[in-house]
Structure 1
Amino acid sequence: MFIHNIDKNVSLKLIELNDAESIFELTDKSRNYLKEWLPWLDFTKNVEDTKEFIRGCLKGYAENKSLNTVILFNGEIVGVAGFNSVNWSNKTAYIGYWLGEEFQGKGIVTKVAKALTDYAFNHLNLNKVEIRAAVENKKSRSAPERLGFVNEATIRQVEWLYDHYVDHTVYGILASEWNELSVSNM
């Protein structure tokens, strides 16, 4: 089982089917908050929908195409994060994350994005990590900005959110840049 302790409060654990109830409860509790930026809330109506999502995550992990984890804060599931996909040909990982509403503003997502980026470069030997977020989603964009990711592009009308399209900002960082940032922060 994959468990990565980030600090004394925050860790990542490979998502499992027995996490479904907790993830669904968190999703349901934060539904109105999450719906502003996440397009899948209308398709997550019960625990079985969450189990189906987890099965897909586990299949991607078994096929070495993704790595999805639950975010634990003081031992409680507070969100989901990971590599939505890994492109081994181009040595690039694509990070995605969401956090329950009541756990916002504690620096959790920044710690998680940093840990996943470290893992991509130092354990998977990838060359690039990307994070994409809706242009207006300032909270989601703040993590890659704090971590020194480069704002590489804006992709227009790339995602349909219930009744409108949103543009995404693409952030990227290369292994060489990350290592340079890591050395300069010591």
Structure 2
Amino acid sequence: MFIYKINEELSLKLIDLNDGARIYELTDQSRAYLREWLPWLDYTTKPEDTNEFIKMSISGFADRKSVTTVILFKGVIVGVAGFNSINWSNKTAQIGYWLGKEYQGNGIMTKVTKALVEYAFNELKLNKVEIRVATENIKSRSIPERLGFINEGCIRQAEWLYDHYVDHYIYGMLADEWKKQDITT
């Protein structure tokens, strides 16, 4: 089992089917909150939907196309984060993440994202990490900004969010830029 320890309270664990009930529960508890920025909530209406997501995530990992982890805070699953896609030819990855509403505001996601970036550069030997965020999602944008990512531009109408399009900023970090930084979280 893959577990990446960030600190005494925080770890990332490769997602598996045993996590399904808790992830669905967390999704359901935070549904209205998450729905503001995540397009998949209307398609996750029962535990089986979460299990299908987990199966796709396991397949993506087996095919070396993605890495999906659960975020463990004090031993409890509080969210999901990982590399939504990995392009081995170009040595790039895109990070995606979400956190249950009650766990917001504790710096968890900044620490998780920093750990994923370090893993991408040090373990996977990638050259670039991207984070795509809706332009109006200030909380989510603050994470790559806090970590020194460069806002590389805007993709107009990048995502359909239930009844409207949202634009995305693309934040990028290169391996050599990351090594020059001194970021404490």
Band of TM-score, shorter chain: over 0.9
Specify every segment of 5 or more residues in structure 2 that has no aligned partner in the other structure, as ranges: none
Offset from partner CA, 1:55-88 (integer Å, 9 cap, x none): 0000000011100000011000000000001000
For 1:3 and 1:142, locate their aligned partners in 2 and report how far apart those are by CA, in whole Å.
Answer: 26
1:123 alignment partner in structure 2: 123
Question: What is the letter of the counterpart of residue 59 of structure 2?
Answer: K
For 2:44 and 2:77, locate their aligned partners in 1 and report how far apart those are by CA, in whole Å.
Answer: 17
2:64 alignment partner in structure 1: 64
2:139 alignment partner in structure 1: 139
User: CA offset at residue 9 of structure 1?
Assistant: 1.0
For 1:9 and 1:152, locate their aligned partners in 2 and report how far apart those are by CA, in whole Å.
Answer: 33
For 2:85 and 2:75, locate their aligned partners in 1 and report how far apart those are by CA, in whole Å.
Answer: 26
Which secondary structure does the structure 1 equivalent of 2:178 belong to? helix
1:79 alignment partner in structure 2: 79
Which secondary structure does the structure 2 equivalent of 1:94 belong to? strand
TM-score by length of 1: 0.97
TM-score by length of 2: 0.98
Offset from partner CA, 1:99-136 (integer Å, 9 cap, x none): 00000000000000000000000000000000011000
For 1:86 and 1:60, locate their aligned partners in 2 and report how far apart those are by CA, in whole Å.
Answer: 10
Which secondary structure does the structure 2 equivalent of 1:148 belong to? coil
For 1:161 and 1:48, locate their aligned partners in 2 and report how far apart those are by CA, in whole Å.
Answer: 22
Which secondary structure does the structure 2 equivalent of 1:154 belong to? strand
Matched, 1:88 2:88: yes
Matches of residues 8-87 of structure 1 in structure 2 within 5 Å? 8-87=8-87
Identity of aligned residues (%): 67
2:113 alignment partner in structure 1: 113
Deviation beyond 3 Å, 4+ runs, structure 1? none
Question: What is the letter of the counterpart of residue 25 of structure 2?
Answer: E
Offset from partner CA, 1:15-69 (integer Å, 9 cap, x none): 0001000000000000000000000000001110000000000000001110000
For 2:142 and 2:109, locate their aligned partners in 1 and report how far apart those are by CA, in whole Å.
Answer: 9
Offset from partner CA, 1:158-183 (integer Å, 9 cap, x none): 1001000000010000000000114x
Question: What is the letter of the counterpart of residue 32 of structure 2?
Answer: N
Which secondary structure does the structure 2 equivalent of 1:38 belong to? coil
